[in-house]
């Protein structure tokens, strides 16, 4: 491997552990810097290919300051941190790191993060090279006489851009997602798929499993939002006969069933807090017990999770565990909504019409230009799922072998949507409401056991500063 790595860490014991890990993995170690100033000196002297940075360093300058300098020098870096603060994390994201490893650092997490960072760096370099030679055609399918004809036995237009079975896209954002899938699939790395409802998160999870070394084993799907609260633990981990009322026989849970394969936890943001703790244990220790049993079972599963929620907001408001987020967020994939990839709509239309025509035993050869323009102009609040359902219905209702009429939802929906969006509170307003509700719950107590700072997992000084910023005045002093 031979890549030179610089470690910027002010805890010597932690830094030495990292050094041993990267050297054993074949990387070249080029120094430990306890401060930003020392790091800049070593960058100049050693010219590292990658830098591992602790965000919170002792002294006036933090790892964030160093990140800006490394970006200027075009040197990739990965953050190390055990602390979480929404404001700091927002700043950290803007520095465009190539990865994030949570402390205490596990050897496997660190090495996977370095592999991913290396790949992303190469991908960025290739992207720069390609962008200097090519440009995206903004006039695709824009001719006024275009009839959007396609033959049932000619899939060349789709095959040129369909990188993975069942997933269609030619935009640069989708191509990057395809690259990410190809990169992460062979590893056992946890993947977190983020995106609005209907963007195709389950399809991405399927593709990762099919391209993995676990492809011949089980791919088990769990929808966390649809499981009754009192049955989630039994569903995931199983139970013994007689372990609770109604347990008439032993049940094998989803994790046991997925052993050796992949488990897909859809809508992970809806998982109750008590189950988040138990899921974290499975991620960390690779073990669990069935309800009513004292026998610990080992499990070898690859976890892919998905959500349409903003997990960082959920963390800030106390509904999702920070440590679980870090374990799942090793390799995030962000799916764009359909309204942000409209160049893919003609391709998707062709793809779905072919599928539903064959299913309905019809021979649909194309769609009229005015109808295609309607589809491209529509906002698609339901994303690809909405387009898919619309086209299935359209094909079934089609009386000819050419689609010249499509019934889209009333445009009033769009106006109502815009009206509701205008009423959405700002992040500061929501944060202020949350802090006020916690203060009320704690009878205005800031510090000490049961105080607001403890419940919000913040130092009292940080909470006081945030309250001042949000315009919240203390009524009592404790």
Q: Which residue has the tokens 């040129």?
A: 160
> In the numeric block, which tokens belong to residue 377?
């102009």
pLDDT at residue number 147: 54
pLDDT at residue number 291: 92
**CATH class of residue range 4-123:** alpha beta
CA–CA separation, 371 and 212 (whole Å) = 40
Nearest to 368 by CA among 146, 157, 152, 155: 146
In this prediction the pTM is 0.61
Q: Which residue has the tokens 């300098």?
A: 69
Residue ranges of domains in the chain: 4-123, 172-241+250-334, 340-414, 427-470
Nearest to 153 by CA among 358, 397, 401: 358
Q: Which residue has the tokens 């202020």?
A: 432
CA–CA separation, 118 and 25 (whole Å) = 14
φ/ψ (deg, to 5) at 449? -60, 130
- Computed on alpha carbons and rounded to an integer, the radius of gyration of the chain in Å comes to 26
Q: Do the first three CATH levels of 4-123 and 172-241+250-334 match, i.e. the same topology? A: yes
Which CATH number describes the domain made up of 340-414? 1.10.8.60
> In the numeric block, which tokens belong to residue 141?
């399918």
Please name the helix (run of DSSP H) or strand (run of DSSP E) that holds residue 44, with its range, or none: helix 36-46
CA–CA separation, 443 and 474 (whole Å) = 11
Which CATH number describes the domain made up of 172-241+250-334? 3.40.50.300
pLDDT at residue number 125: 64
CA–CA separation, 278 and 191 (whole Å) = 18
pLDDT at residue number 327: 85
Nearest to 113 by CA among 193, 235, 26, 22: 22
φ/ψ (deg, to 5) at 7? -105, 125
pLDDT at residue number 123: 65
What are the per-10-residue average pLDDT scores of the chain (478 residues)? 85 92 91 93 93 88 90 91 72 84 84 81 61 42 46 40 62 87 87 94 93 93 87 91 86 94 95 90 90 92 95 87 86 93 92 91 89 93 93 90 85 45 58 78 80 78 82 60
CA–CA separation, 99 and 237 (whole Å) = 31
Instruction: Quickly count: other Cβ atoms within 10 Å of residue 169's Cβ.
Output: 22
């Amino acid at each position: 491997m031979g890549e030179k790595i610089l470690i910027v860490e002010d805890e010597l014991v932690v830094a030495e552990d990292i050094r041993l890990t990267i050297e054993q993995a074949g990387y070249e170690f080029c120094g430990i810097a306890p401060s930003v100033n020392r790091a800049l000196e070593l960058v100049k002297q050693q010219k590292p290919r990658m830098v591992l940075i602790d965000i919170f360093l002792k002294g006036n300058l933090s790892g964030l300051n160093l990140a800006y300098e490394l970006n200027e020098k075009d040197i990739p870096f990965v953050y190390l941190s055990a602390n979480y603060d929404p404001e700091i994390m927002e700043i950290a994201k803007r520095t465009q790191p190539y990865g994030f490893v949570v402390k205490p650092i596990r050897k496997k997490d660190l090495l996977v993060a370095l592999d991913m960072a290396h790949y992303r760096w190469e991908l960025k370099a290739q992207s720069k090279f390609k962008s200097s030679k090519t440009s995206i055609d903004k006039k695709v399918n824009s001719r006024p006489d275009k009839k959007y004809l396609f033959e049932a036995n000619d899939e060349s237009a789709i095959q040129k851009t369909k990188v993975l079975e069942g997933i269609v896209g030619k935009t640069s954002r989708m191509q990057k997602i395809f690259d990410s899938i190809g990169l992460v699939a062979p590893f056992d790395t946890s993947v977190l798929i983020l995106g609005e409802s209907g963007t195709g998160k389950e399809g991405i999870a399927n593709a990762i499993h099919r391209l993995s070394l676990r492809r011949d084993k089980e791919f088990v799907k769990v929808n966390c939002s649809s499981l009754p609260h009192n049955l989630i633990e039994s569903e995931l981990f199983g139970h013994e006969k007689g372990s609770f009322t109604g347990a008439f026989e032993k049940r094998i849970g989803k994790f046991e069933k997925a052993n050796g394969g992949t488990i897909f936890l859809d809508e992970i943001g809806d998982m109750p807090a008590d189950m988040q703790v138990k899921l974290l244990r499975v991620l960390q220790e690779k073990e669990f017990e069935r309800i009513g049993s004292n026998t610990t079972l080992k499990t070898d599963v690859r976890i892919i999770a998905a959500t349409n929620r903003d997990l960082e907001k959920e963390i800030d408001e106390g509904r999702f565990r920070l440590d679980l987020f870090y374990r799942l967020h090793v390799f995030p994939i962000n799916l764009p909504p359909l309204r942000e990839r409209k160049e893919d709509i003609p391709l998707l239309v062709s793809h779905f019409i072919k599928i539903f025509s064959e299913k309905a035993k019809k021979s649909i050869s194309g769609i009229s230009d005015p109808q295609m323009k309607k589809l491209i102009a529509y906002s698609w609040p339901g994303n690809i799922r909405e387009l898919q359902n619309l086209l299935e219905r359209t094909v079934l209702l089609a009386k000819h072998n050419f689609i010249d009429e499509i019934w889209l939802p009333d445009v009033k929906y769009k106006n109502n949507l815009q009206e509701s969006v205008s009423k959405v509170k700002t992040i500061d307003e929501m944060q202020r409401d949350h802090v006020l509700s916690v203060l009320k719950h704690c009878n205005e107590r800031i510090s000490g056991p049961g105080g607001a700072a403890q419940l919000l997992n913040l130092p009292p000084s940080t909470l006081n500063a945030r309250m001042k910023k949000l315009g919240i005045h203390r009524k009592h002093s404790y």
